[in-house]
Structure 1
Amino acid sequence: MHKIDVMHKEENPLRSPPLVEQAFVQLRRDVLDGTFGAGAKLKVDELQAAYGLSSSPLREALSRLAQEGLIRADERRGFRVAPISEQDLADITRMRLMLDVSALREAIAHGDDAWEGAVVAAFHRLDKVESRLGDGPVVLDDAWSELHRAFHLALLAACPSERQRLWGASLFDQAERYRRFSARHRKTARRKSNEHRKIMDATLRRDADTACAMLEEHILSTQRNVTAALKAAAQAA
């Protein structure tokens, strides 16, 4: 197992996040970017050696990732990265359409000026990063991915249902693993800035029907792209 770069253990503890949070962030990153492939077994002793952390924060981080659906827990077999399949992606997509589209409609109905400003700021940061990237698969850029997530969550932030927002964020992360899989197999660059701008503009106009239709198509386009990548990978195997 390769050695993974981690924060030096002697860093000032007042400036470092808690060990559980460190373990969670690092594990989540490596699951999302494919360092640990679909179905890979996550052995605590190997993770200890890779991350330089004790078993306690690692086990708690693994449990949190299991709750988010990124890994699977089995009492006898331990932890494994969740598998990747068209059926799983279809289920994630179906749930995102149920939760996120209605959450956007609610956000448009309840959002105030501060919410609008946060949406504009989130898009601006995302657009600036994307404009500086080359023609490669931007979804594999960590900075872009974090800002992409922040933009989508900002759109829904004014939805009154905290559970809906939290479940939507979890599903976004599960879909992120598929987006990154698709990017690794993509033959051409795919820019999303124009799609995001159109969703933002309709949202700020308080045109809920248009904004929700655009978000639905945005989510479905991810499913189509990943499904094509899954089929191409299967044919190449």
Structure 2
Amino acid sequence: MMSEHAPPLVDQAFQRLRKDVLTGAFAAGVKLKVEELQSAYGFSSSPLREALSRLSQEGLVRADERRGFRVAALTPDDLHDITRMRLMLDVPALREAIEHGDDAWEAAIVAAYYRLEKVESRLPDGPVILDDEWSGLHRDFHSALVAACPSQRQLAWSASLFDQAERYRRFSARFRKAARRKSTEHKKLMDATLRRDGDTACALLTEHIRGTLRNVQSAFDAAAAEAA
């Protein structure tokens, strides 16, 4: 019979492993050995294996042919697939949120934007997506935009895909040569959403998501040039 303490241990192991995979603490393609993870995190093998299985369901970890696990590789094809799915889920979710959102939803968007803008204003020009606080607030802002979408499954899948794209954002930042200019994209996206201008808001979100794809593709090109 499973101990009543097992689910929280699995959740703890999952959250810690997930964060380290997303932030690049484990490099893409690296083998995740349970014995080493036990030493690093202090969990027994059972919750770690369950956490790894859950991460594999998200696509962040791949099952190895010898029944082990590896961090999923970063590839242009995978990013294109993530982008395609984000456009299929996030854009309709935003449109539905605009249709169903109330005053509390609007207030939450404004608050999330304010926190993001305040943190970004204090950061130097450069790859701010390597900053964990900024990354968390960036996620919160995008989650707030679509929070009024009535489909909880759609929101869950959207959140998972946003996090999968985070690994690519961080990869892109490592290869960015020029200083990062403060963008008004989030402000424009918020304003159109609060105006209940669904067409403009969805067009802006589409361009925002495709912009990530372009930035990461440039990073792949830069990485290939360095390797050559």
TM-score by length of 2: 0.92
What is the percent sequence identity of the aligned residues? 76
Tell me, yes or no, if the aligned pair for 1:138 and 1:191 is still in contact at 8 Å: no
In structure 2, the residue matched to 1:81 is 71
Question: Which residue matches 2:112?
Answer: 122
Instruction: Report the number of matched residues.
Output: 221
Separation in 2 of the partners of 1:59 and 1:156?
33
> Does residue 1:61 correspond to 2:51, yes or no?
yes
Q: 2:193 aligns with which of 203, 207, 231?
A: 203
SS of structure 2 residue aligned to 1:120: helix
- Quote the residue 1:9 is aligned against: none
Structure with the higher helix share, 1 or 2 = 2
Q: Deviations over 1:207-232 (max 9, x none)?
A: 00000000000000000000010111
Per the alignment, residue 141 of structure 2 pairs with: 151
**C-alpha distance 84-60 of structure 1, shift in aligned 2 (>3 A):** same
Shift of 1:85: 0.8
**Residue type of the partner of 2:204?**
M
Aligned CA RMSD, in angstroms, stands at 1.5
Structure 1 runs (4+) deviating above 3 angstroms are none
Aligned counterpart, 1:235: 225
Q: Which amino acid in 2 is paired with 1:160? A: P
* Distance in 2 of aligned mates of 1:101 and 1:169: 13
How far apart, in 2, do the equivalents of 1:156 and 1:89 lie? 22
- Tell me, yes or no, if structure 1 residue 97 matches structure 2 residue 87: yes
* Distance in structure 2 (CA, Å) of the matches to 1:96 and 1:19: 31
**Alpha-carbon offset, residue 36 of structure 1:** 1.1
CA deviation vs aligned residue, 1:152-187 (integer Å, no higher than 9, x gap): 011011011111111111110110100000011111
Deviation at 1:128, TM superposition (A): 1.0
Deviation at 1:193, TM superposition (A): 4.7
One-letter amino acid of the counterpart of residue 141, structure 2: F
Alignment partner, residue 20 of structure 1: 10
Are the counterparts in 1 of residues 125 and 182 from structure 2 also a CA contact under 8 Å?
no
TM-score after normalising by structure 1: 0.89
SS in 2 for 1:80: strand
Contact 1:20-1:60 at 8 Å conserved across structures: yes
Give the match for residue 138 of structure 1.
128
SS in 2 for 1:158: coil
Unaligned runs of 5+ in 2: 1-6
Partner SS for 2:169: helix
Q: Which amino acid aligns with 1:143?
A: E
Question: Structure 1, unaligned stretches of length 5 or more?
Answer: 1-16
Task: Say if 1:130 and 1:193, in contact at 8 Å, map to a contact too.
Answer: no
